[in-house]
Amino acid sequence: MDDIREILTGGQSFSWSEEEDCFSAVLNEKVYRVQSESDFYSDDFLRMYYDFDFDYDRARCEIREKDELLKQAVDNFPKLRILRQDPWITLISFILSQNNNIKRIKGLYDALCRNYGHEVEKNYYSFPTPKELARTSINELKELKVGFRDRYIMDAIEKADILNGLESLSYDEAEKRLMTITGVGKKVSACILLFGYHRMDAFPIDVWIKKVLNQYYPNKDISYFNPYPALCQQYLFSMARFIKL
């Protein structure tokens, strides 16, 4: 299970839970349980979700040649890839991610599932749809301890239709639309476009990535990471946590 742990629980998705002998997630109205990369071949949804159509072998070879830090990152996380997630789940997940850590984000994600999703198997709950989450209120969200993110979530519920059609827009146009949702800035919109729409030209910059850029790439702009900026970013994010910058 070590080869997929960083992919499933390393900060790009909060749907997965590590159990004693597998990782589990409620997706696509089903409970999925996986132990290794080969399990993602089991059905069409998981194949799409795990992004098997993208040539990661080629990308990793090219990324590895860029510099020593990226070489170490690829060597430490040889299976890393970008998951193709649901845009709505991604929107709320990365609203929850603001000024937060992975463990707490996962806890809030699970609380929304238990309180507003529906049971798919005993004790396994789906992530709530916009309609299901519309049952909530600011006071209820406060009780779940989402903090200042409560009003962001409420606005996202009201503006959920913004997610429709973003895939046909340019990056700048899609970013502009997403940023009309309260609390969605450049970092969160980049995460939504990357993980929810597979925009591999995205480059989310959080505190981890800022540290990496300042320390290792002070005289370079994002174009340095072309033609795989999104994947380079994910490698650098994982590496920053791994070496505890």
- AA letter at 224: Y
pLDDT digits (tens, 9 = 90+) for 23-38: 999 999 999 999 999 9
- Token pair in block for residue 186: 């450049």
The confidence score (pLDDT) of residue 244 equals 64
Strand segments (E) across 41-186: 119-121, 124-125
Name the residue ranges covered by the structural domains of the chain: 56-83+200-245, 87-197
Distance from C-alpha of 223 to C-alpha of 229, rounded to nearest angstrom: 8
Axis crossing angle, helix 229-242 with helix 56-64, rounded to the nearest 10? 70
The confidence score (pLDDT) of residue 105 equals 97
- Token pair in block for residue 183: 């609390």
Strand segments (E) across 23-162: 23-27, 30-34, 119-121, 124-125
Distance from C-alpha of 31 to C-alpha of 207, rounded to nearest angstrom: 33
Distance from C-alpha of 167 to C-alpha of 192, rounded to nearest angstrom: 11
Query: From its phi and psi, is residue 29 left (phi > 0), alpha (psi between -120 and 50) or beta?
Result: left
Distance from C-alpha of 212 to C-alpha of 230, rounded to nearest angstrom: 15
The confidence score (pLDDT) of residue 158 equals 97
pLDDT digits (tens, 9 = 90+) for 82-93: 999 999 999 999
What's the Cα-to-Cα distance from 19 to each of 35, 112, 138, rounded to whole Å? 10, 20, 32
Contacts of 1 (CB under 8 A, 6+ apart): 18, 22, 23, 35, 36
Assign domain 56-83+200-245 one CATH number from 1.10.260, 1.10.1670, 1.10.287, 1.10.150: 1.10.1670
Contacts of 127 (CB under 8 A, 6+ apart): 15, 26, 86, 88, 89, 92, 109, 112, 113, 117
Contacts of 70 (CB under 8 A, 6+ apart): 63, 64, 232, 235, 236
Beta partners for residue 124, in sequence order: 121
Domain 87-197 has CATH 2.60.120.650: no
- Token pair in block for residue 64: 């590895």
What's the Cα-to-Cα distance from 166 to each of 39, 91, 173, 189, 231, rounded to whole Å? 30, 13, 8, 11, 21
Regions in the chain scoring below 70 on pLDDT? 244-245
